[in-house]
Amino acid sequence: MTTDLQREQLAKLVASFMSYSAGHLPDDVKLRLTEMSKIENEGFAPDIYNVMQKNMELADSLKRPSCQDTGIPQFFCRVGSKWPYLDIIEDALIDAVKEATAKAPLRPNAVEVFDEKNTGNNIGTHSPWIDWEIVKDSDVLELYFYMAGGGCSLPGFSKVLMPLEGYEGIAKAVFEQMTTYGVNACPPCLVGIGIAGSSEVAAKLSKKALLRQVGSHNPNPKAAEMEKLIEDGLNSIGLGPGGFGGKLSVMGVNIEQASRHPATLAMGMSTACWAHRRAGIRINPDFTYDFFTHKGAAL
């Protein structure tokens, strides 16, 4: 069976899904920004929220990427074990990145390490970055696309703590990172924290935490409590939009966890800027789809 047709169909769909999400924030992020703008009524904050609002409107009406930094393209695939076109996904995603880069247009950001050359089309070694998860008994391809910008990737880090540093040690590191680099990450940010037994797992979970909705809670009540405590604590610092000061700092804090080793407490942290361009789509075997992060969007 030749799958050229399906590859083209998938690439086209993903390319328009990428272009759309470059110019439109997901519903949950827009909602939270609106809520925050009502609270931030002092100093520079109202003016900055106004410019942000105007930017979202212009990006929509002019069909432009809302931020010039369209990031390193990252895909998180949750692919059903019964999705019929496993073979073509990777190639289709690469085609889609090429197409969206030329047409949206997206900024070419892939710089080859060591050669130190920009490839010009966002395709490079492991670019786009693709993360795979298999979902059993499903025939759906659930695809998250994330644009990892430079400024918002800057506070990211992971490290392994001694268990006796405790969960407080994690909070402390997050607070320090946010007060040091937060102003460069176009706040208000969404903070993703991963907790695990080794650094790479914690780091990856921290990015997955950013894919969760703003305002969602970790199902573990203690983790949810920690999310809330860190969120309230960060808000009490009052970075405000753009770091000019205000009543709030973050859109939220999402934590994801994996079991740890008795002798390690690894943490990872990722941040998303206010222009949190995360998009999720569920694609059926017949290529009908549900663009579930952006309800009502027409591709």
Binding residues (CB under 8 A) for other proteins: these are 44, 47-48, 51-52, 54-55, 58-59, 62, 64-70, 105-109, 111, 117-118, 120, 150-151, 154, 163, 166-168, 170-172, 175-176, 179, 183-184, 186, 222, 226, 229, 233-234, 236-239, 241-245, 273-275
Rounded to 5 degrees, φ, ψ at 266 are: -90, 145
Amino acid identity of 262? P
Residue closer to other proteins by CB (options 196, 226) is: 226
The option from ligand SF4, other proteins, none interacting with 188 (CB < 5 to 8 A, set by class) reads none
Amino acid identity of 178? M
272: closest CA among 56, 77, 29, 98?
A: 29
**Interacting stretch for ligand SF4, rule CB under 6 A, among 38-46, 145-153, 158-166, 233-241?**
145-153
- Structure-token pair, residue 107: 């900024």
3-state SS, residue 133: strand
Least distance CB 176 / other proteins (angstroms): 7
Buried b / exposed e along 96-127 (16+ C-beta atoms within 10 A): bbbbbbeebebbbbbeeeeeeeebebbbbeeb
The option from other proteins, ligand SF4, none interacting with 102 (CB < 5 to 8 A, set by class) reads none
Residue closer to ligand SF4 by CB (options 6, 70) is: 70
Does residue 151 touch ligand SF4 according to CB under 6 A? yes
Residue closer to other proteins by CB (options 91, 225) is: 225
Distance CA(241)–CA(247), nearest Å, equals 9
- Structure-token pair, residue 52: 């942000």
The option from ligand SF4, other proteins, none interacting with 238 (CB < 5 to 8 A, set by class) reads other proteins
3-state SS, residue 117: strand
Residue closer to other proteins by CB (options 169, 215) is: 169
3-state SS, residue 265: strand
- Structure-token pair, residue 269: 């942290």
Does residue 185 touch ligand SF4 according to CB under 6 A? yes
Least distance CB 153 / ligand SF4 (angstroms): 8
Q: Binder to ligand SF4 among 73, 124, 149, 182 (CB under 6 A)?
A: 149
Strands (E), 150-264: 157-161, 189-196, 250-257
- Please report, as residue ranges, which positions from 258 to 297 form the binding site for ligand SF4 (by CB under 6 A): 273, 275
The answer to whether residues 243 and 186 touch, using CB atoms and an 8 Å cutoff, is no
Residues binding ligand SF4 (CB under 6 A): 67, 69, 71, 149-152, 185-186, 273, 275
